[in-house]
């Protein structure tokens, strides 16, 4: 038990994230918390799941992840708390927790969190998830929070050969994919789902953004170990008009020129 709660949400700069911290602050002294991010795209469950999946392992074992990207709040979807080999996860059972939980060996224990009658139908982050995360971080056993359950909603990122998906668009407009790099490739042929063959483009593989020139399209291996498509000094997402969930293919080719996208 680390006493640490790590918050992730799509609340942005609104007061909602602060209110959840207020709930945490009302619990025993010694409880600590930090923000992973509150900049998940609104209702971006897939994006939030990717960020959680690629980030959780960098926190101390025993940390409790309080994750709230919850377009189904107030409906019949489960509220859950899950224990894995090294961590605990609290949030809606809508796929948000799935990839991280599976990556850490799968659920060793899971409970359904009761929703108090007085809970807001629009803010379970405050009334259900934050209190549960605080109790876990303070050392209460998971079984004390609710009855046993199983995760009902799965979320798997699409990948078949060199076809994957856009998993997020970062603040710089870089298009982050779940596709690994191919060692030794000089370039990749980029194809978006539904895009005509005439719009395919060769994107040069580089080690750093500084290896490209302003305005050039490049493919960089990002910090998660997967390929990111970028425009040096610009926004690839704006040019490609893509959002998380779009299928994308990156085939390794010889050295190529700039894209026609």
pTM over 0.85: yes
Q: Are 45 and 8 in contact (CB under 8 A)?
A: no
pLDDT of residue 11: 98
Q: Could you report the per-residue pLDDT of 130-182, keeping only the tens digit for each?
A: 999 999 999 999 999 999 999 999 999 999 999 999 999 999 999 999 999 99
Q: Could you report the per-residue pLDDT of 88-118, keeping only the tens digit for each?
A: 999 999 999 999 999 999 999 999 999 999 9
CATH architecture of the domain 163-253 equals Beta Barrel (2.40)
pLDDT of residue 101: 98
pLDDT of residue 187: 95
Q: Could you report the per-residue pLDDT of 222-248, keeping only the tens digit for each?
A: 999 999 999 999 999 999 999 899 999
Answer yes or no: is pLDDT of 198 > 90.
no
pLDDT of residue 254: 64
Q: Give 4-144's CATH code, choosing from 3.40.50.10790, 1.10.3260.10, 3.30.160.40, 3.50.50.60.
A: 3.40.50.10790
Contacts of 231 (CB under 8 A, 6+ apart): 173, 215, 216, 217, 218, 239
Q: Could you report the per-residue pLDDT of 40-72, keeping only the tens digit for each?
A: 999 999 999 999 999 999 999 999 999 999 999
Token representation of residue 125: 């982050």
pLDDT of residue 256: 42
Phi, psi of 67 (to 5 degrees): -115, 125
Least trusted range by pLDDT, from 106-110, 177-181, 196-200, 251-255: 196-200
Q: Where are the domains of the chain?
A: 4-144, 163-253
Contacts of 72 (CB under 8 A, 6+ apart): 92, 94
pLDDT bin (cut points 50, 70, 90) of residue 261 is: very low
């Amino acid at each position: 038990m680390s006493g640490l709660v790590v918050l992730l949400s799509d609340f942005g700069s609104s007061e909602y994230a602060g209110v959840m911290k207020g709930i945490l602050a009302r619990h025993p002294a010694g409880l600590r918390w930090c923000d992973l991010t509150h900049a998940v795209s609104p209702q971006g469950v897939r994006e939030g799941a990717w960020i959680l999946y690629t980030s959780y392992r960098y926190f101390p074992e025993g940390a409790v992840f309080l994750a709230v990207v919850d377009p189904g709040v107030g409906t019949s979807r489960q509220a859950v708390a899950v224990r894995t080999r090294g961590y605990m996860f609290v949030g809606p059972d809508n796929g948000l927790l799935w990839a991280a939980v599976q990556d850490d060996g799968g659920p060793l224990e899971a409970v359904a969190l009761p929703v108090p009658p007085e809970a807001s139908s629009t803010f379970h982050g405050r009334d259900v998830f934050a209190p549960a995360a605080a109790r876990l971080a303070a050392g209460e056993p998971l079984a004390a929070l609710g009855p046993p359950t199983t995760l009902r909603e799965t979320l798997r990122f699409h990948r078949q050969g060199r076809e994957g998906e856009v998993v997020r668009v970062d603040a710089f407009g870089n298009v982050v994919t779940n596709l690994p790099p191919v060692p030794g490739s000089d370039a990749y042929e980029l194809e978006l789902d539904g895009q005509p063959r005439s719009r395919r483009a060769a994107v040069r593989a580089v080690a750093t953004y500084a290896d490209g020139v302003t305005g050039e399209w490049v493919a960089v291996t990002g910090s998660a170990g997967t390929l990111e498509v970028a425009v040096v000094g610009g926004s690839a997402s704006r040019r490609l008009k893509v959002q998380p969930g779009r299928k994308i293919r990156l085939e390794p080719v010889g050295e190529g020129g700039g894209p026609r996208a």
